[in-house]
Structures are given as C-alpha cells and as structure tokens.
Structure 1
Amino acid sequence: MRRLLGPAGLLLALATSVAAAADKTIPMPPDHAYATLKPGPGVEVTRQQCVSCHSTDYIVMQPRGDAKQWDGVVTKMIKVFGAPVNDQDAKTIVEYLATQYGN
C-alpha cells in the first residue's frame, strides 16, 4: 500500500486548513441595529427589565398573544430563568406586550 501523505504533507494540510479558518469572521450588528420596541405606556419598564437578559429582537419575534399568553411568557422568564422583575413591573410588561404585540 502506498503512502499518500507523509508527516510533512499532513502538517501542511492541517496548517492550510487552520489558516483558512482563521480568515473567517462573523460580523455582529452594531448595538443600534436591534429591533426598536413600539412606543407606548410601559415601553421603558419593558426595555429596562427585559434587555438585561436578551435583545429586543427576542421580544418582537415572539408569536402574538393576548394578556394571558404574555403573562405566561413573563412568568416563565421570572420563575424559570430567574429574571429579577417585581410584581408591579411584571404587570406593566404584560400590559405593554399585550397592547403592542397582541393578536
């Protein structure tokens, strides 16, 4: 059986693939490129509380829902993911989301 690559050839192939991979960059959007929340009562509380964990893109890409559905989402963020949101702010966020992103 004939040897196709010796140690030097193998090293050259590896170095070439590493160099090619090093040239790849993933462009990130600038901070201002994220989705803008719709204006309305509760937008500031929503922005302050929610973007400490995720971008506004995550909010606006959610399926539209009524207050009950948004309450479930906000409750999950608090109880499952540990979002530090008090009861009053949670109520404000649910009202805002149901009004601006309701169905």
Structure 2
Amino acid sequence: MRKLIWLGLMAISVVCFSGEESIRLKDGPGKELVMNSCATCHSLDYIQMNSVFMNKKQWEATVNKMVKTFKAPVDEKDIPAIVEYLTNFYGVRQ
C-alpha cells in the first residue's frame, strides 16, 4: 500500500512540475532569490503572466500578501529585494 501511495505522489509531482524547467526568469540582481522564494509555492509562470498588470505598488502588495496572508516561507527581510527584482524586470512602467 505504501508503494502505491508513493507512486501516486510521484506521478502527481511529475504532472504538477513538468515544464517548470522551461520557465526562465530574466537575469538580474535578485533572480535567484525570487526563483527560490516564489517557486516553493507556485509556478514561476505566474510572474510572467502578471507582469503586464503589475507596477511596484502592486508587486509589493502581492509579495506581502504571499508572505503575511498565505504564509509563504520567505524571510521578511528579503521582501524588498524580491519586490525590486519583480518591479525592475516584470513591472509595468507608469
């Protein structure tokens, strides 16, 4: 029974994370921090999908919501660097 459960979990992991290796964020300061922080909870394609809508204030609100409301495992001291990267490379200029 344990083997069956283990195989099922492995199959789910493959389906959930397949194709993630093809998501490539733009190079720049903070990229590794964003990859390591954001991908623990969701696909990195969310960053690219939301980039057409988000300015600095919106990225800041989103990152804070992820950390404070959804309890994303991100050190609060890293929030400014994450917001800076997202704003610089995936932010809407206004």
TM over 0.5: yes
CA distance in 1, matches of 2:74, 2:87: 17
Matched-pair identity in %: 44
Question: What are the ranges of 5 or more consecutive residues in structure 2 without an aligned counterpart?
Answer: 1-14
Total equivalences in the alignment = 76
Find the structure with the greater CA-based Rg: 1
TM-score, structure 2 normalization: 0.71
- The alignment yields a C-alpha RMSD, in angstroms, of 1.8
Question: How far 1:31 moved relative to its partner?
Answer: 4.0
Runs of 4+ deviating beyond 6 Å: none
Equivalent residue in structure 1 for 2:66, among 53, 56, 77: 77
Q: What SS does the corresponding residue of 2:37 show, helix, strand or coil?
A: helix
Q: What is the correspondence of 1:31-46 to structure 2 with a 5 Å cutoff?
A: 31-33=20-22, 35-46=23-34
Q: Does 1:92 align with 2:67?
A: no
Q: Distance in 2 between matches of 1:92 and 1:80?
A: 19
TM-score, with length taken from structure 1? 0.66
Q: Which has the higher contact order (CA 8 A, sep 6+)?
A: 2
Structure 1 gap ranges (5+): 1-27
Q: Distance in 1 between matches of 2:71 and 2:58?
A: 19
Match of residue 59 from structure 1: 47
Distance (Å, rounded) in 1 between the aligned partners of 2:73 and 2:34: 12
Q: Distance in 2 between matches of 1:37 and 1:30?
A: 14
More helix by share: 2
